[in-house]
Amino acid sequence: MTIIVVLGRYREYSFGMEPSPALPDRVRRELMSLIDSGSQITAERHERIAAWARSMADNTLRAAASDLRIVTEFQRRDGRPSLPIAPRDLYLLLEERAQKGTAKASLDRLVAMMVRLHAVADLPTPIDEMVRWKQKEIRRTDGRASGQARGLRLKGDVSDFASDPPKLVSLAALVASIPDDPRGLRDRALLLVGYDAGLRRSELVRIKYQHIEPSIGGEGALLIPRSKTDQDGFGARAWISRQTMAALETWLAVSKIDNGYVFRSLSYRTSQAGHLAEGSVNQILKGRLATFLESLVNIGKLDRATARQIVCETSGHSLRVGCDQDLFAAGVDIGAIMQGLRWSSPKQPLAYARHLAPATSKLASVMRKVVRPT
């Protein structure tokens, strides 16, 4: 138990223990239980699927279990096993889900996951031309934009990322509004590290004390032992700014953390994982942002509808999106962005950059300097 002095009062905070493999094990068991309901799943096929499940990342298993639950419910209406699902039945399932309003991206993932599971189990393919045509029809008729978190940029939508002062709504303004109590110190460090290193939520909550490497001039580096695109655990390092290192060091000093996970729950109850849950990143960011924007509404700097929309469109991934957008706005090469933010394909960073405000792009910055005929 750690005792922290805050404004002359004593508060006790319990900071969890080492992680438990219970969650991925539960997901694997659920996945295998759903698959076991299939009459064509022989012992050999079961062994193949089990070996595949042990090799997959936790989030992949969660997605597989989620999609398989949908298929299982549909199949059981007519007394069919979960797997295999025939192409015609998959076609009818897609049609039904689309009519209920399921997003096109979710349906594409469901199809991809079924293809993957059938291939792993050495079962006949669940798709044919009819299924592919149905996917194209859904993409064409579903006019909703694919869901993407709003980027939370360091200075907001500025024209010149390097020299312009921060806008009213920006990460810099948000972290400056956070109070200096223990929870505030933790949250400020969490948000700044997430932005600087462009971290995914799974990477952010699993930072350990020994992963932080101070360097000359007050800056630092962060070791990322494993990530979504590095399941083999080769590891990578990310740059941390002087300001972020200062926020980290303040939090570590106040919390007296000198080993294990850096971002933990400030509670009398100790979690099994020992670190914040991934969903807590969303809650912290949305909560801090809502409070900050409400203060702007109260002084007439922002209207309430806009504030609500910003909070609604923001998630824990907004820090990574914002970092990506700032790098593009500053004219950083796509190769350097992929290397720095640990992407194996340019598709996603380019997708994030498409939502960058046009007036803040590097292209706009260059074109403003062009002498135009009057």
Q: Mapped to the 3 state alphabet, what secondary structure does 321-339 carry?
A: HHHHHHHHHCCCCHHHHHH
Q: Is the peptide bond before 346 cis (omega within 30 degrees of 0)?
A: no
Q: Is residue 13 part of a domain?
A: no
Do 129 and 177 fall into the same domain?
no
Q: Is residue 162 part of a domain?
A: no
Range with the largest mean pLDDT of 187-191, 226-230, 264-268, 331-335: 187-191
Do 327 and 264 fall into the same domain?
yes
Banded pLDDT at 18 (limits 50, 70, 90)? very low
Quick check: 109 pLDDT over 80?
Answer: yes
User: Residue 70: what pLDDT?
Assistant: 94
> Whole-angstrom Cα distance, residue 210 to residue 242?
18
- Residue ending a domain, among 141, 158, 193, is 141
Q: Is residue 321 part of a domain?
A: yes
Do 204 and 119 fall into the same domain?
no
Structural domain boundaries, residue 245? 171-367
DSSP alpha helix (H) spans, the chain? 22-36, 43-55, 58-76, 87-99, 104-120, 129-141, 171-177, 182-196, 201-204, 242-255, 278-298, 304-313, 318-329, 334-340, 347-353, 362-367
Quick check: 349 pLDDT over 80?
Answer: yes
Mean pLDDT of 162-181: 94
Quick check: 159 pLDDT over 60?
Answer: yes
Dihedral over Cα of 56, 57, 60, 66: its sign? positive
Banded pLDDT at 155 (limits 50, 70, 90)? very high
Do 95 and 176 fall into the same domain?
no
Quick check: 27 pLDDT over 50?
Answer: yes
Tell me the per-residue pLDDT of 43-75, one tens digit each, with 9 for 90 and over.
787 788 888 888 887 778 888 889 999 999 999
Of 298, 316, 5, 15, nearest to 180 by C-alpha is: 5
- Residue ending a domain, among 141, 161, 188, is 141
Q: Is residue 312 part of a domain?
A: yes
**Which 3 state secondary structure label does DSSP give 220?**
strand
User: Residue 194: what pLDDT?
Assistant: 96
Do 120 and 206 fall into the same domain?
no
Q: Is residue 225 part of a domain?
A: yes
User: Residue 273: what pLDDT?
Assistant: 66
Q: Tokens 């809502």 — which residue?
A: 290
The mean pLDDT of the chain is 84
Of the ranges 86-90, 187-191, 333-337, which one carries the lowest mean pLDDT score?
333-337
Per-residue burial over 200-213, b = 16 or more CB atoms within 10 Å of its CB, e = otherwise: bbbbbbbbbeebbe
Do 184 and 129 fall into the same domain?
no
Q: Is residue 156 part of a domain?
A: no
Do 183 and 111 fall into the same domain?
no
Do 328 and 223 fall into the same domain?
yes
Q: Is residue 334 part of a domain?
A: yes
Tell me the per-residue pLDDT of 277-324, one tens digit each, with 9 for 90 and over.
888 999 999 999 999 999 999 999 999 999 999 999 999 999 999 999
Do 175 and 128 fall into the same domain?
no
Do 217 and 337 fall into the same domain?
yes
CATH number at residue 65: 1.10.150.130
Do 179 and 40 fall into the same domain?
no
Do 237 and 355 fall into the same domain?
yes
Quick check: 1 pLDDT over 80?
Answer: no
Q: Encoding tokens for residue 181?
A: 């109590």
Quick check: 17 pLDDT over 50?
Answer: no
Q: Encoding tokens for residue 289?
A: 């942002």
Q: Encoding tokens for residue 362?
A: 């590097």
Quick check: 157 pLDDT over 60?
Answer: yes
Q: Is residue 196 part of a domain?
A: yes
User: Residue 233: what pLDDT?
Assistant: 57
> Whole-angstrom Cα distance, residue 322 to residue 152?
4
The number of distinct structural domains making up the chain is 2
User: Residue 8: what pLDDT?
Assistant: 31
- Residue ending a domain, among 103, 121, 141, is 141
Q: Encoding tokens for residue 91?
A: 């076609």
Q: In what order do the strands lie in the sheet with 236-240?
A: 212-214, 220-224, 236-240
